[in-house]
Amino acid sequence: MKVAVIGAGTMGSGIAQVAAQAGHDVVLFDTRREAVEKALAALRKTLDRLVEKGKLKKEQADGIHGRIAPASDLRELTGSGLVIEAIIEDLGIKKKLFADLEGLLGAEAVLATNTSSLSVTAIAAACAKPERVIGLHFFNPAPLLPLVEVVPGLVTDPELGARLNVLMQAWGKVPVLCKDTPGFIVNRVARPYYGESIRILEEGIAAMPTIDAALKTYGGFRMGPFELMDLIGNDINFTVTKTVWEAFHFDQRYKPSLTQQRQVESGRLGRKSGRGYYGYGDDESIPSTHVDMVLGNTIVERVLAMLINEAADALFWGIASAKDIDLAMTKGVNYPKGLLAWADEQGPAHWLDVLERLQAEYGEDRYRPSPLLRRLARAGTRFH
């Protein structure tokens, strides 16, 4: 099957590499021919490094690179069985693209969007055959992170999700099936890791290095939230938070922070701009700090309670299965444990108590416990 990838940015070129490594002939399209050439040159360097490290044979690297053809005219995508769009997160632009593609491709071709926050159903509405449109949300860098969220829209052919699930497994990925809701699994469930950490900072409970160190030392997370936001880009993280908040009709659980907004307004976007929550100049480094065990565990418990509550709510609303929610968080954002399995260790009643204490103290709806968490706590049962 011929695979087409639209958008030669970091994500698009990464997806093209994954498809080519799986043995497909790939067309990498961008409106700017030079963007495709640049992406292919960067891929050549990446493959050469893998050969040097002994992770690929030279003939394998040559084969992967040789299977990707550049394109700057949509007509060159004719004959593709699967098209994956990885362009700017703009609903209007995506809808126009999908409408244009439908007239060029065969009736059996699958149209997939790599959107991380927009509605698959809304994108599909631009097509005469919306049943062949589906979300395939890869994580950056696509060749390294195994997770793919498979997201059928409201009218997507029910069999298409199962077919794409099998295909992603053949590509060496870990697919999870989820409903077309704001943020899907990962970008919804992960919001409190950033939002509650910022809240702890704003309240003056702990400084950024302390919060980061606490979640790494006592929580087992690979990166602290402020380090991670700087790596992702504060503009990107803020936009995703704002998009999810608006899509959930301004639910207080997802409310963006003014602290994050000011970072973006000041141009402190993180590593890519040289300064974010931390400085990244030649003579600067992320401060190391020792965290008192009591304070550290208090920080972890508060952030983890919010994460677990969000995972529980995703399960309550049938966004995905408990297994897939846990897989998504371990394989997509490298959490040390699946959140629902983590909740089971101390039991839902413990986490309900933490949330009820926070809600009583602050009187805010952001701390309202999930109905499922309440139900399991009352019954004395667990998620798994």
Domains of the chain: 3-177 (3.40.50.720), 188-379 (1.10.1040.50)
Neighbours of 203 (CB within 10 A): 9
Instruction: Give the mean model confidence (pLDDT) for residues 213-221.
Output: 97
Quick one: how many helices (H) and strands (E) in the chain?
A: 17, 8
**Residue 66 pLDDT level (bands cut at 50, 70, 90):** very high
The CA–CA distances, whole Å, from 106 to 28, 50, 82, 161, 175 equal 18, 36, 10, 19, 26
Q: Would you call 137 a catalytic residue per the annotation? A: yes
Asked if 13 is an active-site residue, the reply is: no
Question: Residue 338: which of 327, 350, 351 has the closest Cα?
Answer: 327
Our CA angle for 346, 348, 350, nearest 5°, is 60
How many Cα neighbours within 13 Å face the side chain of 162?
3
pTM of the model: 0.94
**Active-site entry in 13, 117, 137, 234:** 137
Condensed to tens digits (0 to 9), the pLDDT of residues 139-181 reads 989 999 999 999 999 999 999 999 999 999 999 999 999 999 9
Cα separation of 267 and 252, whole Å? 26
* pLDDT, averaged across the chain: 96
Please report the pLDDT score of residue 103 as a whole number: 87
- Tell me which of 13, 80, 114, 187 is the catalytic residue: 187
Q: Which residue has the tokens 């899907």?
A: 184
Q: pLDDT digit string (tens) for 80-127?
A: 999 999 999 999 999 999 999 998 998 999 999 999 989 999 999 999
The reported pLDDT for the residue numbered 289 is 85
* Candidates 114, 116, 257, 370; catalytic one: 116
Sequence-separated (6 or more) residues with CB below 8 Å from residue 202: 257, 259
Q: Which of 149, 196, 227, 310 is catalytic?
A: 149
Within the chain, what is the greatest distance between any pair of CA atoms? 63
Bond prior to 141 in cis (omega within 30° of 0): yes
206-226: average pLDDT:
97
Instruction: Let me know if 80 is a catalytic residue.
Output: no
Under a CB-based contact definition with an 8 Å cutoff, are residues 160 and 110 in contact? yes
3-state secondary structure of 125: coil
Answer yes or no: are the C-beta atoms of 97 and 69 closer than 8 Å.
no
Is 65 tagged catalytic? no
